[in-house]
C-alpha cells in the first residue's frame, strides 16, 4: 500500500466507529484494517470498542419500550403531524 493511501492514527480513530459497524466503503475499510494490523495501540482501541458495542447490543436487544409509553409517543407523533 502506498504512503498516499495509508492512514494515520487520527484518521483511523475518525473511521473506527463506522468500521466496526461495517458502514465504510470497501476501500476505507481496507485502509483501516491495514492500519490496525500495523498499529498496536489502535488495534487495542478497536478491540475495546468492538467488545463494548457487542455488550451494549446484547443488553439493549432485551429491552422493550413499555406499551403505555409507546402509545404516548405514537400519539404525540401523530399530533405533531396534524393527526395523520
Query: Which pLDDT score is estimated for 78?
Result: 93
- By percentage, how much of the chain surpasses pLDDT 90? 76
DSSP the chain: --TTT---HHHHHHHHHHHHTT-S-HHHHHHHHHHHHH-HHHHHHHHHHHHHHHHHHHHHTT----HHHHHHHHHHHHHHTT--
Query: Which pLDDT score is estimated for 60?
Result: 76
pLDDT in tens, 11-34: 999 999 999 999 999 999 999 999
CB within 8 Å of 21: residues ≥ 6 apart:
53
Please, what CATH class does the domain formed by 9-80 belong to? mainly alpha
pLDDT in tens, 73-84: 999 999 998 855
Whether the predicted model's global pTM rises above the 0.75 cut: no
Q: Report domain extents, the chain.
A: 9-80
Amino acid at each position: 500500500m502506498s504512503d498516499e493511501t495509508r492512514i494515520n492514527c487520527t484518521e483511523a480513530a475518525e473511521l473506527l466507529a463506522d468500521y466496526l459497524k461495517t458502514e465504510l466503503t470497501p476501500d476505507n475499510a481496507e485502509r483501516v484494517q491495514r492500519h490496525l494490523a500495523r498499529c498496536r495501540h489502535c488495534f487495542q482501541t478497536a478491540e475495546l470498542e468492538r467488545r463494548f458495542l457487542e455488550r451494549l447490543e446484547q443488553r439493549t436487544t432485551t429491552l422493550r419500550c413499555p406499551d403505555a409509553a409507546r402509545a404516548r409517543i405514537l400519539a404525540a407523533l401523530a399530533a405533531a403531524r396534524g393527526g395523520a
